[in-house]
Structure 1
């Protein structure tokens, strides 16, 4: 026993930690060969998003074309943000990561999510500030943390940009989105957000961070307030987004959240 203890103490700390608590796939829990890595099966099942996509909201487009092409929804009703991007479609292992952070309190996953989101976004503007979508104080009290703020905190560290965790506040709770249409989801968040630090966002590029974008109602409501407060540019970054054919009538049982 003494020789075993001696040999353990002679090993690098990382080796000892991996022996006792080996890194696991964030999607299925299978032991993998490094932190924040998916197993081959989960990685292969991830649906990465990218061109061809709407230049504004980032939704996939059916064919290659002009990089400035807009989807029908953005043409009909331009969103209050300039761009919205997510590296992954919501579902499978990506969904498990979102739920493990939000409901499983696996806060270390925010690091993986932030890194993946930054790769999708590219270099952030020099004057960018990072602002998370806020939780209402009641939900924050029940859960103990805001998952968007955890992701934003990691993003600020990795991108070396200022974090304004209190720039936006949620002034009223919102109802469950179970069974709501897009228009009802938009109505659900009317008046829910306010900018608490106008001077901090005025004239700046704001990176608005959340874990999931479903109908876009929540990020649109936030972006609208940021624009009114004087932000020169609002870019939405989420880890996943629900594709349009999966949104209508989707509720918390599908998305694991009441966010919209």
Structure 2
């Protein structure tokens, strides 16, 4: 155990005394900081098998298998090498994302990243992928104070999932909020806005990449990032997110 972990472990009882652990969703008392109560854990929708072999979309059918490809990927083969989503987007994951992303609850990062890490296959220690967060434009970063994707990436690095490269991608100009826009409108808004900085290209060539974000909605932002990374010479790009919007998968699981 390193010094930082030793100090944190020693201070934990004091922190718990001053700030009794509470579930960030319902406020009930819990055993430790940065967790959820049993009821709220069960309200999260965790993707399960069988899944599409290309995009990890849950099939919601016992007759399917992990060797099958979903209709979406058959119609439009993806550029990425898979999607590792910690949860499917529902009311519970939405509340956690809002608290983490807009509510300043950055202490949620280890828990959210832990759910993502459970969906990422282990890599060989001598061939760890690069972990690259979806970038924020500098003005949005200045306004928010942190890049939530970078915080998740840092925790994934601590969990041994790869080597964090903070500035592997850059947002060249500000884009409008994508909320409420359709896929085509999102793609137009993002056109030419994301690229690999010249200083980062040598580090990305022939590397496997884990692209990290908090939420994957239409996939327009991640698509723009994947295209930029592959254009710069990346070998593969796997998308990792805490919550993935797949309403049909939620309906099948209900």
Residues 113 and 239 in structure 1, CA contact (< 8 A), matched pair in contact too:
yes
Instruction: Look up the match of 2:237.
Output: 234
Q: Could you tell me which residue of structure 2 aligns to residue 37 of structure 1?
A: 35
User: How far 1:178 sits from its partner (Å)?
Assistant: 3.9
Contact 1:86 1:237 in 2 (8 A): yes
Aligned to 1:209: 212
TM-superposed CA distance for 1:66, in Å, is: 3.4
Q: Quick one: distance in 1 between partners of 2:244 and 2:13? A: 36
Pairing partner for 1:60 from 58, 61, 66 = 58
* Residue 8 of structure 1: aligned partner: none
Unaligned runs of 5+ in 1: 1-11, 247-260
Structure 1 stretches of 4+ moved >3 Å:
none
Larger Rg: 1
TM, length-normalised to structure 2: 0.87
The aligned counterpart of 1:107 is 106
Q: Is the 8 A contact 2:51 2:65 kept in 1?
A: no
Question: What displacement does 1:57 show?
Answer: 1.9
Instruction: Give, in angstroms, the shift of residue 245 of structure 1.
Output: 4.9
Q: Is 1:27 equivalent to 2:25 in the alignment? A: yes
Task: Measure, in 2, the Cα distance between the counterparts of 1:56 and 1:188.
Answer: 26
Q: What do the CA deviations read for 1:56-90 (whole angstroms, capped 9, x no partner)? A: 22222142423232221211111221111202111
Match of 1:85 in 2: 84
Kept in 1, the 8 Å contact 2:86–2:112? The answer is no
Is the contact made by 2:50 and 2:66 (CA closer than 8 Å) also made in structure 1?
yes
Query: Unpaired runs of 5+ in structure 2?
Result: 1-9, 250-254
SS of residue in 1 equivalent to 2:159: helix
**TM-score, normalised with respect to structure 1:** 0.85
Residue 182 in structure 1 maps to residue 183 in structure 2: yes
Deviation digits for residues 36-55 of structure 1, max 9, x if unmatched? 22112211211111212222
What's the RMSD between the two structures over aligned residues?
A: 1.7
The 8 Å contact of residues 25 and 38 in structure 1, kept in 2 or not, is answered as: yes
Q: How many residues align?
A: 235
Rate the CA distance shift 1:245–1:181 in 2: closer, same or farther, 3 A: farther
Q: Distance in 2 between matches of 1:176 and 1:14?
A: 39
